[in-house]
């Protein structure tokens, strides 16, 4: 419904499926030149590297680890390479720019907690590839930046009184302000990253 309101289009994409990403890019290009990509698909859950009973079967589920990497890291790169290919065909603007890409990492890339091995590895990979990919795409006039947000209030925390108490407790561990970030506060940074023509190869 929102896509129709703003004159856009909606495409449901599984970022582990290259053909679905490519179809979404082609759908966008059919409407207008593709100038921006925001990579925000991601999953994560807590699981320690080993169990408490010393059994191999209690160690971290390796398939779960692979799934997090597939979605958060490989899916991000797959979307970058396909979207940037389309952007490279754009006529450059007055700054010589043909497109802008904003990836979503996490503070966990730098400060991973207990049980976050897969999530931190995936987000650390996103941070780590930001500079080399920006260098790769510089000749095409495509900027690449990454945001590594802290705790943002999203539906991942659930609903109800227990959820609100949990979020309040989390917020007390934040330096200042002592609360979770609002989605529109994160969105404003995404807009800045996409539109600021002098910002490139940075992780914020």
| Active site residue ranges | 119
Q: CA-to-CA distance for 171 and 150, rounded, in angstroms?
A: 10
Tokens 């609903």 -> residue = 159
Other C-beta atoms within 10 Å of 159: how many?
8
Return the SS3 of 203. Answer: strand
What letter does residue 181 receive in the DSSP assignment? B
Hey, which bits of the chain come out as E strands? 36-39, 99-104, 142-147
Residue 100 β-bridge partners: 36, 143
């Amino acid at each position: 419904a929102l896509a129709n309101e703003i004159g856009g289009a909606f495409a449901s994409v599984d970022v582990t499926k290259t053909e679905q990403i490519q179809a979404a890019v082609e759908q966008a290009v059919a409407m207008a030149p593709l100038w921006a990509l925001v990579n925000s698909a991601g999953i994560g859950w807590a699981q320690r590297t080993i169990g408490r009973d010393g059994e191999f079967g209690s160690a971290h589920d390796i398939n779960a680890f692979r799934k997090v990497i597939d979605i958060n890291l490989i899916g991000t790169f797959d979307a970058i390479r396909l979207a940037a290919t389309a952007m490279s065909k754009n006529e450059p603007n007055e700054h010589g720019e043909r497109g802008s890409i904003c990836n979503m990492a996490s503070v966990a890339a730098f400060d991973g907690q207990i049980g976050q091995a897969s999530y931190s590895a995936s987000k650390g990979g996103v941070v780590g590839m930001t500079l080399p990919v920006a260098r790769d795409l510089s000749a095409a006039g495509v900027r690449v930046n990454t945001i590594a947000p802290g705790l943002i209030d999203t539906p991942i925390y659930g609903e109800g009184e227990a959820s609100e108490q949990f979020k309040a407790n989390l917020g007390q561990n934040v330096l200042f302000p002592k609360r979770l970030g609002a989605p529109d506060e994160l969105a404003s940074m995404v807009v800045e990253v996409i539109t600021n023509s002098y910002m490139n190869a940075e992780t914020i």
